[in-house]
Homo-oligomer: A and B are copies of this chain.
Amino acid sequence: MELPEAKQRFIEAWGKLGSEWGINRTMAQVHALLLISPEALTTEQVMEQLQISRGNANMTLRDLMNWGLIEKQHRSGERKEYFFAEKDVWTIARQVAKERKRRELEPVLKLLTQLQEVQGDAQDPEYATFKTTVTDINKLAGNVDKTLETMLKAEENWFFGSMFKLFK
């Protein structure tokens, strides 16, 4: 396979994977493009390479900055803004985990804890089932949360290396 086709396929696959996991397809594609680009790119270049509008490119780049996945670069004597992606995949993984934990896991965890307090008759199967289910999910979610916390602090080798030793 030649490089241009490979790039194309990579960008498409990354976009598809993103959309399957609740991340805007275009955002994932822009991220992919910057990941495989040795140089920082301008909004214009992103627009051209992915055939998207200025507005879309602008908003997507901003989103990616909010996710902490890309950064702006300013070049002296130029007014254009260049964007480049963090290239270390373990750092990227941690960043994504951090954001999704904060945006999606933590609010649910908070609600589950509240729902556990629901009052009712322990003899009522409706009540008993609800309470057990919520409590169990809360426990699991708590474990996931703690594990992510660990992952956020960890170095890749430590995290995966130790895990494999343990579970082989």
Name A's B-contacting residues (CB within 8 A). 1-3, 6-7, 9-10, 13, 17, 19-22, 35-39, 87-90, 93, 103-104, 108, 111-112, 114-115, 117-120, 124-130, 132-134, 136-137, 139-140, 143, 146-147, 150, 154, 156, 159-160, 162-164, 166-167
Contact = CB atoms under 8 A, between A and B. Distances in A.
B140 A7 contact: no
A36 B3 contact: no
A117 B1 contact: yes
A3 B163 contact: no
A40 to B, nearest CB: 12
Copy tally for this chain in the complex stands at 2
A118 B2 CA distance: 6
A7 B120 CA distance: 12
A54 to B, nearest CB: 25
A113 B121 CA distance: 56
Contacts of A88: 136
Contact of A10 (B17, B39, B134): B134
A150 B136 contact: no
A140 B37 CA distance: 19
